Structure 1
Amino acid sequence: MNLALPFPHFRIPFHRPVDLRVDVDPSATDRGDPLALVHERIHTPGDPLHGLPSFGLRDPRFKVHVREVDGERYAYVEDMDRRCLAGSTVFNRLVEVDRRADRHLRSPHSRFLPQYQRQGIATAVYDWALATGICLMTGARQSPGAHALWRNLARRYESGFAELSNKKLTYLGIDIAPGDLERLETRMFLLPAKCSLPEFCEAVGMRNSPR
């Protein structure tokens, strides 16, 4: 399987979905996000955030600054015209999986200011991450915005559902029962374009459901 082991250096690339549970209100968890401070650090010589690798989006207003720390990848989206950060996405490691799956899987979480939402910015960042070979998996909960984003991405990337329990993954299929969707152990995954489902299952040690 030709997945990134470990993650590659930053490259600049430019089924029918089912509903996932939506039980997180971003406004309740993201108040006070210090985007202005992060933007200042990005433009402060000598700061660890200064001089990060970056790439542009199709909309020339935006530049994405990327860093990797302890296997987690951060993407800061800058509005070059307004000289501010529109938001950010972090591709977190999943503490719930074993070391084998941890080499391939990351769970993205995005936070964008209201005026930059629903403009396809987060989608472009996810496209970039998938193009580098990362396999994406949802966390235990999703915000309404993340829920819609994953549904849209599932139209273009191979996707499916898995049960995550005791650090092991069990494949549940493309379509699952509504009751399974409500379980916190149920996770959705998205695969890079060059990764097949059998390759993914082998790489992360995912078993088939006995049901």
Structure 2
Amino acid sequence: MLLALPAFSFPTLALRRPLRSELRIDVDLPPASLEAELAALDRRLRTPGDALHACATWPAPLPGLYFRHREADGEHFVYVVDGASGRLAGYTVFNRLIEIDRRSDRHVRSPHSKYAPAWQGRGLASAVYAWALARGICLVSGARQSPAAFALWQSLGRRQPLHYVDIRDKRIHDLGPSVDAARRDLLTTRMFLAGAGWTATALRRAGVLHDAG
């Protein structure tokens, strides 16, 4: 059972509008490289004395799984572990963005996920993103994405309002629920999901979002 995603209301947003266009998709990690990275992390999670071994353990909103979580320098790392085997299925890191100012940095992170091929397509990353959104963390997509990452944002965009934003001059500028092809191709154009409790007015008042102009 996935965590319920929070509501976010923009005055001009068409509710639950499906995404009809793609951002830049040019990231695809080779399976062997991915498996090697996850195996190394799995060993660290099991090794007493390692920083990862000390991660907090939380129940996951998916049957048979649990989360291991740590926070370092304001970034969140969520490791999803198979309860039956104790093996790492994959992880999501919520990175800070160097492109934004301090006011936005308090509330915004950019998620990046890596999950083993056997676990892909089972809603793990979606559950982890929902965990972050429920904590009030606003999410911004990366400048480049893998096909799986783009599909995940498409899915989230069907469940709650999603906006495009332009990141420039250390600020996040709201572009609305859709943009043209030329705008989508710019590296500064990203997708934005608001965390629980945020409204458009509150985001502007907090200095997180700014007008496009």
TM-score, L = length of structure 1: 0.86
Instruction: Work out whether 1:42 is the aligned partner of 2:45.
Output: yes
8 A contact 1:136–1:191 mirrored in 2: yes
Query: Secondary structure, in 3 states, of the residue corresponding to 1:123?
Result: helix
> 2:174, 2:212 within 8 Å by CA — same for their partners in 1?
yes
Alignment of 1:24-63 (within 5 A): 24-28=26-30, 31-32=33-34, 33-63=36-66
1:114-163 Cα offsets, whole Å, 9 max, x none, are 11000001100000011111000011111111111011112223321111
2:18 maps to: 17
**Range moving further from structure 2, 121-130 or 176-185:** 176-185
CA distance in 1, matches of 2:74, 2:193: 19
Change in 2 beyond 3 A, CA 1:128/1:91? same
Q: Distance in 2 between matches of 1:36 and 1:44?
A: 12
Counterpart of 1:163 in structure 2 is 166
Q: CA deviation at 1:205?
A: 4.3
Give the Cα separation in 2 of the matches to 1:166 and 1:17.
29
Query: Relative CO higher for 1 or 2, CA cutoff 8 Å, sep ≥ 6?
Result: 2
Regions of 4+ moved over 3 Å: none
Q: Which residue of 1 aligns with 2:196?
A: 193
Structure 2 residue aligned with 1:6: none
Q: Runs of 5+ in structure 2 lacking a partner?
A: 5-13
Residue pair 2:166, 2:173 contacting (<8 A) in 1 also: yes
Read off the aligned partner of 2:126 and give its amino acid letter: T
Asked whether the 8 Å contact 1:104–1:204 carries over to 2, the reply is no
Q: How many residues align?
A: 198
Q: Which amino acid aligns with 2:33?
A: R
8 Å CA contact 2:204, 2:210 repeated in 1: yes
In structure 2, the partner of 1:139 is: 142
Aligned-pair RMSD on alpha carbons? 2.0
- Mean Cα deviation higher: 114-123 or 78-87: 78-87
CA distance in 1 between counterparts of 2:146 and 2:133 reads 21
Determine what percentage of the aligned residue pairs are the same residue: 40
Contact 2:27 2:144 in 1 (8 A): no
C-alpha deviations, 1:17-65, integer Å up to 9, x for none? 3323242232259825422222222222222222322222243321110
The TM-score, its normalising length taken from structure 2, stands at 0.85
Unpaired runs of 5+ residues, structure 1, are 1-12
Deviation at 1:180, TM superposition (A): 1.0
For 2:133 and 2:32, the matched residues in 1 are separated by: 25
Query: Distance between the aligned counterparts of 1:201 and 1:128, measured in 2?
Result: 23
What is the SS of the residue equivalent to 2:122?
coil
